[in-house]
A and B are shown apart, each in its own frame.
Chain A
Amino acid sequence: MLTPYVPILILLALATGFSLVSLGLSDLLGRLRPSIGKSTAYECGMQVEGSARLRLSIHFYLVAVLFILFDVESLLLVPWAVAARSFQEAGVGPLVLAEVAGFVGVLGLGLAWVWKKGGLDWDR
């Protein structure tokens, strides 16, 4: 039952083995000549300043959750949009449209609620 997954396992083993072998060989055979230029961050963005443990505003998470919410909403609307024509041909178009409208309506109400509650005010 699980045999179709064996190639993935082989690929995993190959990938792990290749990286281990090439890194290990260069470590064994190569000579180590450290310099200042070599030990700086190369093509990895800016020089690091200060601690990475910043305090993020709680609003960041609120906005992130709202974003995910509407992301998922669009995800759920796409199948309906694709199948809308066949629903119409089957004569259940209005029923499904009403269901979708109810779904979007509840989410819209949620957005209105968050808005009214001040969840979208960034500097509060």
Chain B
Amino acid sequence: MSAAHQLAPEAIASQFRTLFDASAWSAVAPLAALSAGVVLCLITDLSRALAALRGPLVFAALAACAWFQVQLLLHPVGVVLRDSLHGDATSAAFGLLFVAGGLLAWLASHGYYKRDGQAPLAEHDALLLSAVAGMTLMSAANDLLVFFIGLELLSLPLYALSALRRSRAASVEAGLKYFLLGAFTSALFLFGCALIYCATGSIGLDTLRVLAAPGSLPMGELALLGSALIAASLLFKLNVFPFHVWVPDVYQGSPTPVTALMATGTKAAAFAFLLRASFLLPASASTTLALLALITLAIGNLGALVQEDFKRMLAYSGIAHAGTLLLAVAGALGGDPVANGATRAIVFYLAAYVFSAGGAFAVLAALEAGGERFTKLENLRGLWQRKPIAALALALFMLSLGGIPGAGGFWGKWFVFEVLVRADMTGWAIAGVLMSVLALAYYLRVIIALFMQPTPAGIVAPRFERPASLGASLVLCVGAVLLTGLLPGMLLGLLG
């Protein structure tokens, strides 16, 4: 190595000081808490004496992560580590959603695998924490490759988690399908990165934003193709048409706690980055995105209408919600999503969705673990007589997902359509509202089954395996859904 390439000692020292300053540490702290949780979680699996520590450990890691995110939310530090990582209020708000999704999935997993014999529970918890860390990195990334590391940190654990019940064919099928398609989209993303780098010589979002300022990136077609590939891989993670076909099978086959994490966390993480990188897409892509969103809404809602399986219905409902959220992204194109309110609308919508869908999956997981091994809608009939509290909570979650005033989902939809109207896309907003009305049909079907139909013969009241865990999830979810529904100003105030 020639001496000319070596930096002077003072230069190295000053680079270290500027790279690892206090703000860098506070932006990295949530990730560090989760990563430490992953490693320690695996260590507890090494001896029988340590096994009892695993539960408190997972909780401590999630709680520490949440604490650091709250600190970031209150005292944002901006972009750190050579413009590669965000430590702002948006990434912190998304980070808190991921912690909530991880916590709900973890609580739902208690007792769920009891009948699966030798289920690798320590690995389950470690993979779950790692997936949450991946989501956190995805929402904080300010660089295409940092995002990619987050994406893989999320995806690889989820592939393994969805195939966790190895003795069940459906679970293995879900894992394999998710893995093959996921690996394919990862390749698409990388190819998109390569094309963008080829066109601009950069993969940092800050640099790209400056280059895109005159209206589009330099080297038009190449950069456009790269952006389209990146958008396609994000749309896959978002379950948006035409990348939605895998969703029902994977959601249905995966263990219910894992499905809960996939439905809530993955979607939120991908939307977080789509918002940050939305400037890569030209403003004229708005109509295309809105059209994709409407088709997604139609597929999700019509698909959910005809399902007999509750879990599969929730999968289709998740597709529909992704469509609604994509409408907000379409409305935000061509401007700064933070400035035009799209980020705020999407965070709010996702907050309501994470707790409504997460709560519904929690009830479903508890019912499955309690002896009702089937997730058919008919098994929910008369649950009101058997388990009144769980039935009431489930009804509230359905109303929130459907967007009934009083529950958080209503305001989420309101803010999304507000973004569209402000972007002069009122026609799309009206179509979205009509689709939401259609969605009510299948949410109400669940409520009818819960309260107005008699328990089928031969079904006994389920005995909840871990009532404390279910209780904790229900308190958290019902509280959050009602809080966002009745006092939306509180959350909006936090988001600034």
Please determine whether chains A and B interact with each other in the same assembly: yes
Bound-state CA distance A59–B13 (Å) is 46
Bound-state CA distance A112–B46 (Å) is 9
Q: Is A15 close to B, CB under 8 A?
A: no
Contact mask for chain B residues 4-23; partner A; CB cutoff 8 A; 1 contact, 0 none: 00110111110010000000
Q: Is B472 close to A, CB under 8 A?
A: no
Contact mask for chain A residues 1-33; partner B; CB cutoff 8 A; 1 contact, 0 none: 110000000000000000000000000000000
State how many angstroms separate the Cβ of A31 from the closest Cβ of chain B: 47
Contact in complex: A90, B16 (CB < 8 Å): yes
Chain A residues whose CB sits within 8 angstroms of the CB of B11 once the complex forms: 90
What would 18 more interface pairs be, CB under 8 Å, given A90-B10, A112-B46, A117-B45? A1-B198, A1-B219, A2-B198, A86-B7, A86-B12, A89-B12, A90-B9, A90-B11, A90-B12, A90-B13, A91-B9, A91-B13, A92-B12, A106-B39, A109-B39, A110-B42, A113-B42, A113-B46
Q: Is B187 close to A, CB under 8 A?
A: no
With A86-B12, A90-B16, A91-B13: A113-B6 Cβ-Cβ less than 8 Å:
no
Bound-state CA distance A1–B197 (Å) is 12
The SS class assigned to the B binding surface is: helix
Chain B residues whose CB sits within 8 angstroms of the CB of A110 once the complex forms: 42
Contact mask for chain B residues 407-423; partner A; CB cutoff 8 A; 1 contact, 0 none: 00000000000000000
The SS class assigned to the A binding surface is: helix
With A1-B219, A82-B1: A87-B12 Cβ-Cβ less than 8 Å:
yes
**Interfacial residues of chain B within 304-344, with CB under 8 A of chain A in the complex:** none
Residues of chain A at the chain B interface (Cβ within 8 Å): 1-2, 82, 86-87, 89-92, 95, 106, 109-110, 112-113, 116-117
Chain B residues whose CB sits within 8 angstroms of the CB of A109 once the complex forms: 39, 42-43
Bound-state CA distance A113–B1 (Å) is 39
Chain B residues whose CB sits within 8 angstroms of the CB of A92 once the complex forms: 12-13, 16
A-B contact pairs, 26 of them (CB 8 A): A1-B198, A1-B219, A2-B198, A86-B6, A86-B7, A86-B9, A86-B12, A87-B12, A89-B9, A89-B12, A90-B9, A90-B11, A90-B12, A90-B13, A90-B16, A92-B12, A92-B16, A95-B16, A106-B39, A109-B39, A109-B42, A110-B42, A113-B42, A113-B43, A113-B45, A116-B46
Residue of A nearest to B120 (CB): A117
What 10 A-B pairs come out closest when comparing CB atoms?
Answer: A90-B12, A90-B9, A89-B9, A90-B13, A92-B16, A116-B46, A113-B42, A91-B13, A92-B13, A106-B39
State how many angstroms separate the Cβ of A99 from the closest Cβ of chain B: 10
State how many angstroms separate the Cβ of B122 from the closest Cβ of chain A: 10
Bound-state CA distance A87–B12 (Å) is 7
Chain B residues whose CB sits within 8 angstroms of the CB of A113 once the complex forms: 42-43, 45-46
Interface residue total, chain B, C-beta cutoff 8 A: 16
Bound-state CA distance A37–B13 (Å) is 70
Most-contacted residue by chain B among A1, A82, A89, A90 (CB, 10 A): A90
Bound-state CA distance A19–B118 (Å) is 57
Contact mask for chain B residues 171-211; partner A; CB cutoff 8 A; 1 contact, 0 none: 00000000000000000000000000010000000000000
**Interfacial residues of chain B within 1-60, with CB under 8 A of chain A in the complex:** 1, 6-7, 9-13, 16, 39, 42-43, 45-46
State how many angstroms separate the Cβ of B450 from the closest Cβ of chain A: 44
**Interfacial residues of chain B within 375-393, with CB under 8 A of chain A in the complex:** none
State how many angstroms separate the Cβ of A11 from the closest Cβ of chain B: 20
Bound-state CA distance A2–B199 (Å) is 10
Chain A residues whose CB sits within 8 angstroms of the CB of B219 once the complex forms: 1
Residue of B nearest to A106 (CB): B39
Chain A residues whose CB sits within 8 angstroms of the CB of B9 once the complex forms: 86, 89-91
Chain A residues whose CB sits within 8 angstroms of the CB of B16 once the complex forms: 90, 92, 95
State how many angstroms separate the Cβ of B47 from the closest Cβ of chain A: 8
Residue of B nearest to A88 (CB): B9
Chain A residues whose CB sits within 8 angstroms of the CB of B45 once the complex forms: 113, 117
Chain B residues whose CB sits within 8 angstroms of the CB of A116 once the complex forms: 46
Residue of A nearest to B43 (CB): A109
Chain A residues whose CB sits within 8 angstroms of the CB of B6 once the complex forms: 86
Most-contacted residue by chain A among B1, B16, B198 (CB, 10 A): B16
Bound-state CA distance A92–B20 (Å) is 12
Chain B residues whose CB sits within 8 angstroms of the CB of A106 once the complex forms: 39
Bound-state CA distance A82–B6 (Å) is 11
State how many angstroms separate the Cβ of B241 from the closest Cβ of chain A: 35
Bound-state CA distance A94–B197 (Å) is 36
Bound-state CA distance A32–B13 (Å) is 73
Bound-state CA distance A113–B41 (Å) is 11
